Each structure stands twice: as structure tokens, then as C-alpha cells.
A and B are shown apart, each in its own frame.
Chain A
């Protein structure tokens, strides 16, 4: 009897020990030092972490190689380790950075000398020289898997003049290239040649204010301030970046004090973050322009219209009617919680290329109905609206507004992959889409230029094609006269507002959640950097 009792009890003891051992063995690799996280899960009050910070981001980068990334969040993260060739201040103005300046070496402005900053080193001590810049160009133009090649388009030749001067020959205005260079980060030649691209993508070396410490994929990325950085020393010394894809989990982490800042607060969570003691919401106007695209090349057989129905969007009066029928103020107030401004053109007011003379017509459903009747649709028409997952609330509002003027819209919400595949194949008649719109040239090249011509117009889902638009876009892109360039782009903005190849809706605001004692800067291109932050206590 005694023996049996011992055995049954010992079973639980053994089980408990095994459990503890298993978990201990498995998670010993996952234990981070809680000194770097304010709350550390221990439940105590967050220790005042003055120089170390934890950032909650919506995703983990696929690689730490800045020439192989693709989305805004990845660039945001990598711009702690790396720097773009051309630096910009938080409002987008070009400032001296890795490049001090540039001067024309010929009268036609097709040969330029780029002047490099002296005294800059990468995290491994390697110096920043014209040879390194040349290597960067070589790498992106010749190696596979590079995602940033388009930013070098227009450079026909380049050669080293001296340690800090690279001469480039271009067939496109320099201003266009300089625009692209903000996505073009600079990588160290020696380090990659010695260690290979694979290792570079896992243990990178850059020239930015923070150097690499540790990367556990999908868990965290740890960085520490680089003491030989050429620029302003950041107030924050240690940075931990945690990928938390679920928006609700991100907000929970902020409210619980496990992270100090989160990028990407959904509209629904704003109040919760504001009401929580110790956290608040910081926002600013953003560049991303959300708009409606329409089928503009098929008269019959447009996929979003019922079979046999004519494509109503071909008539400019119908497009104007849709523009007037959408009450954008109401959408911004109710569906976007006020975090947006109405748009009437691609570029937001603070982006170069914005035309201040273009106005958005006032909401006018009666005029919309009149226009529809004049176009031959007194009773409206039916159409399907394709919307990417996450934007159902705006889609539904649009459905409601258009219904009031007789347009019966069927809302089709699709995951990003389905939406992108569908629109790329022109399987849409009416789609709600967004465009980064930080660069005026790509806004027109991508959305309004004849699809497929010169490799452009990839986002022109309605195959809008107008020779006048193409001509103006070509001129704007290729003129070497900056004043003429601005004038052309402004003319294009006005033309868009007039002909409506797309229907502008709003410029999305950027919303971040932070601790109340943390001062941050949200940049014009949606990026938030640790080097811009400091604790205010």
C-alpha cells in the first residue's frame, strides 16, 4: 500500500520536474535581459528607462539587407542601421547627409559630381568613400534579388574621381534621381565582400546612428548607439524593436507597459490608448492618398458591372457625380476618427508638387443626381467596389453615400494578396486603393500614365490612357529645369482634378501610440526613428 501511494504521488512529481526541465531547456534560448524592457513581464511598475526603448512594429523585416526590402515598415526599421544616400529632414526637405552636395560638371546638366561627406565610417570602421558608393551602384544594378533598382534608373555611367567625389552621367533630371535616393540605403563594401550577402542580411553593418546587436527573427531586433556616428548623438542608446503583427496585441503591449511606442494604431484603439494613464496618441498628416480607381478602357464586359451593362465610368459626368456624391468630411469624422484630411490631388499639401490652387468641390448629392441623369442614368446603376481587407469601414461608408444618389454598390472585401492579383490583372471596375505619394513623379508615372508603356503605369488598374496626360508626364519627368518641372506637375494635378482618372478621397493621417513621457517625431514619409526620440522627464 505504502509503495503504491508513493508511486502515484511520485508520478506527479516526475511530471512536474519534466515539465520544468522541458520548458527551462526550451526557453533558455528565449530569455532576454529584462533590464532592457521596462516592464519585463514581472508585473512591477515600469522602471524609468531613460536611454533604452522598446518599439512595437507591425512586422519583422524579411532581411536586414536594405537592398532587398520592400515595404514602409521595413525601411523604417532599417533606417536605424542604415542611411539613405540623400538625407531629408522630418518635413522632407533635402539636407546634407552622406552627400554634402552635388554640382553640374557640364552645361547640359547631364554630368554631375556627387560630393561625399568626409570622416564617415561604417559600424565596422570601414570609411565612406566614392569607391564604396560605386560598389553600391554596381551591386544594385548587377546582382539578383535587388528590390531598389528602379531608384537608379537614369544613371548611365558613373566613375570615381577622388576619395570623396563620384561623377555620374544621367539621362534624367537629377531631381528625379534625388527623389529616388531616399529609398536607396548605403551598404559597406568591405564587410559584404568579406562576409557575403547572406551574413550581411543577418548581421548587418551600416553607417546609421545605431549598430546591430542581435536579431531573433519574429522576436526582437536589438540595436545600440554607434559612438562613431558622424551626426547628432541620439538621446536613446539602446533600442529593441519587437514585431507584433496583431493590432490588438500591439495596443495591449503598449497599455501594459511592455513597449514604449507602437507604430500603427487602429482607429478603434485610439480612445483606449488615450484614456490609459501613461500612454497617449501622437498623429500628423500623412502622405498616403486613398482614392477610387475605375475601369476606363472597357465599354462592355467590365467585370464589376452586371452582365450586359455598359461601363458607366467611361462618361466623365458619371465620374464627377461620384466625386460629388461622397461626403468626405463625414467619412473622415466617423470612419477615420478624424485622422485624415480631404484630398483633391495626389500630393498632400506638405509634399513638393502639390498645387495649392486645386480645390475639392463641396459635397453635393443633388448635383450628382443631375449629372447622372444627364449621362443617361436617371435611376443610377449597379457596380461592385473592390476593397482591401482592413478598409471595410470606409468601403461601407462609400456604399452608403453612393446609394443616396442611386448608385447601388456591392462591397467586395478581399485580402491584400487577392486584391493585388485581381487589380494587376484588370479584373476590377471600381477599386479603393492607396498610394504612398511622397514622390510626385512616381504618383503620375504609376497611376495615370498609359499602363505598360515604358514599363510604367503599373497601378493604373483602369488602363486610363490619355496622350495629353502622357505628354505632360514625360515632359515633367525629363525636363532639366526645376521651375518648369514644378509647373508641369502642378498642371497635372489640376488635370487630374478636372478629368478624374481617379477620384481623390483623403490623405491618411499617421497615428502612433506612445508613453506620455516620450517625445517623438513622425516624419513626412510615415517613418518614426529612435534617433529622433527622447524621454521628457
Chain B
């Protein structure tokens, strides 16, 4: 098992290196950061000086070499815009993004799983149809639109929740809620399908024949077994939530990594863009590893080497 984990860690390192190289090259194609850094009335001499100061006057391969050298020492570069280490900026905002990801996941589980079970147990009845219909809307509605509608409803009309900013648990509910809508809808359908498939299995029939209460059959046997592959999906979804959070963070002025990234792209802040891409690659890789290991722990049939 240890060998397996080590192998995965090495793979992660390779992936991160590839991501860094790709982003390094890609960012240099997007434009000239120096134009975004100085006021419009700065002279051409200052522009040239700034370009040299940032090392952007060197040929691409030299820039890349310098980047690799300092990255190897743990330094991912200094943000052009903030003049602070790019990694420090990202780590400062990581907690806010993680708050969003974790609370979105928890909300979607708290609502998605029970609703999915409800649908499966009452398959075909009105309850099932209604929830399925609602989940269709949840999956199709564009996240940007969902966020704005929720602000309109909960902040402007009902005045229950703040429309933006990060200031206490109430301000977390709208961003997490709008991100969770899609996940709840998705979760309902997955749980429902999974449960239905398992409920038609032989061992369920056996359990019922044994005289077990329906609730035991539903939760201890059917749901437990559905949850095992569902864990995989939840883990991978956390990565997707992190990406989707980029738009949500902008609308709700939530001070997370995603918003930092969007602003870095607008400003051509190359070091931050590259550091963000590498961070997300690492997060995804670890999520995948965690999911695989959890799966192995839950399902005794799974082995790794």
C-alpha cells in the first residue's frame, strides 16, 4: 500500500510540473502584463524598466529556466500586481475557498442523500416525480443565473441574507447554497439510480425474506452499498466545486482563490495564475488519492499495488 501511495505522489509531482509548464507557456501568449501595471501617463522608460525588473525582457526559455530554479527552492514567483509571493496570496485565500467547498458539500449531502433515498423508496409516486423534476431544473440552471436569482430573492426581496462578502455564517449560506443546488440535484439522481439498482438485487430480497424491517433494508443494506461508489463521486465533485466556485466567488465578493485567479487572469498576473494552476492540480491529485484510498477501505474487494 505504501508503495502505491508513493507511486501516486510521484505521479502528482509529474502532473504538477506539466501543468506549470503549460501554464507558463500559455500565459505568455495572452499579452503584456507591464501595460496593466503602470499608470497610463508613465513614460516608455519606466515601462522598459518595469519589464526588466520583472524579467519579462528575457527570452522565454531563460524565463522558464529561472522559474524552474526558484520553484525547486519553493518560490513560485512574486505577483506582478501585489508584489507579494504568489503562493502566499493563494494560501491566504485558501481557507475561504475551502469553507465554500466544504459547506457546499455538506449542504448537498444533507439534502441530496435523503431526497434521493426518498425518491428511490417511493419510486413512481408523486413525490418521486416532483423531486426528479426539480432536480432537472437544478442541473440545467446556469450557476451564474442561480446566484443572481438567489441574491434577488433572499437579499433584496426577503432581506434574510447578505448579498455579498464574507462576514459570519449567514454570508456563507447564499454562495454555498447556489453552488450546492447543482450538486443536490445531481446527488438526488445518483443516489436514486444507485439505490434502485441495488434494491432490485438478490441479497435485498434475501434480507426482506429474513424478516428485517424495511428501514433496516433501506439504510443498512441498500444505502450503505450505494454510498460506497457515491463517495468517489463526492470526492471528485469537491474538485469541481472548487472550479465552479470561481464564478460564485466573483458574484458574492467571496475572498477565495477563485476570485484571485479571475483577477489575475484579467491583470495578466502570470506568477499568480501559474501558482493557482499548480495548487489546484495538487488539490485534485490529493482528492483523487483520498477517494481511491477511501474506496479501498470501504470495499474489501478493492486492492492496490
| A residues lining the B interface (CB < 8 Å) | 1, 4-5, 8, 12, 15-16, 18-19, 22-24, 26-27, 29-32, 34, 37, 39-43, 62-63, 68, 70-71, 144-145, 147, 149-150, 153, 183, 201, 216-220, 242-246, 248-249, 252-253, 255-258, 415-418, 420-422, 424-425, 435-436, 439, 442, 445-446, 452, 454-459
Contact = CB atoms under 8 A, between A and B. Distances in A.
B39 A71 contact: yes
B13 interface: no
A291 to B, nearest CB: 13
B42 to A, nearest CB: 5
B32 A62 contact: no
B220 interface: yes
Given A8-B219, A243-B253, A27 B169 contact: yes
A238 B115 CA distance: 47
B215 to A, nearest CB: 7
Contacts of B167: 30-32, 34, 37, 40-41, 219
B167 to A, nearest CB: 5
A418 to B, nearest CB: 6
B158 interface: yes
A322 B82 CA distance: 42
A418 B30 contact: yes
Contact of A416 (B93, B161, B266): B266
Given A4-B216, A26-B98, A150 B43 contact: yes
Given A23-B102, A39-B159, A218-B93, 20 more contacts: A22-B99, A24-B169, A26-B95, A26-B102, A30-B167, A34-B167, A41-B167, A41-B170, A62-B81, A70-B38, A150-B39, A150-B41, A220-B165, A246-B251, A416-B36, A417-B31, A417-B265, A424-B35, A457-B44, A458-B42
B168 A27 contact: yes
A349 to B, nearest CB: 22
B31 A19 contact: no
A27 B46 contact: no
Contacts of A456: 43-44
A227 B33 CA distance: 41
A258 B53 contact: no
Interface in B37-64: 37-47, 53
A19 B106 contact: yes
A461 B38 CA distance: 17
Interface residues of B, number: 69
27 contacts: A1-B216, A4-B216, A8-B215, A22-B99, A23-B103, A27-B168, A30-B168, A30-B171, A40-B162, A43-B158, A43-B160, A62-B81, A147-B42, A149-B42, A150-B46, A201-B83, A219-B165, A243-B253, A246-B251, A252-B156, A253-B163, A253-B165, A417-B30, A418-B31, A436-B41, A455-B45, A458-B44
A474 B163 CA distance: 52
Given A252-B151, A446-B40, A417 B219 contact: no
Contacts of A258: 155, 162-165
B255 A150 contact: no
**Ranked 7 nearest A-B pairs via Cβ:** A41-B162, A421-B31, A218-B255, A455-B43, A420-B35, A252-B163, A442-B41
Contacts of B250: 245-246
A27 B106 contact: no
Contacts of B197: none
B126 interface: no
Contact of B252 (A183, A217, A249, A422): A249
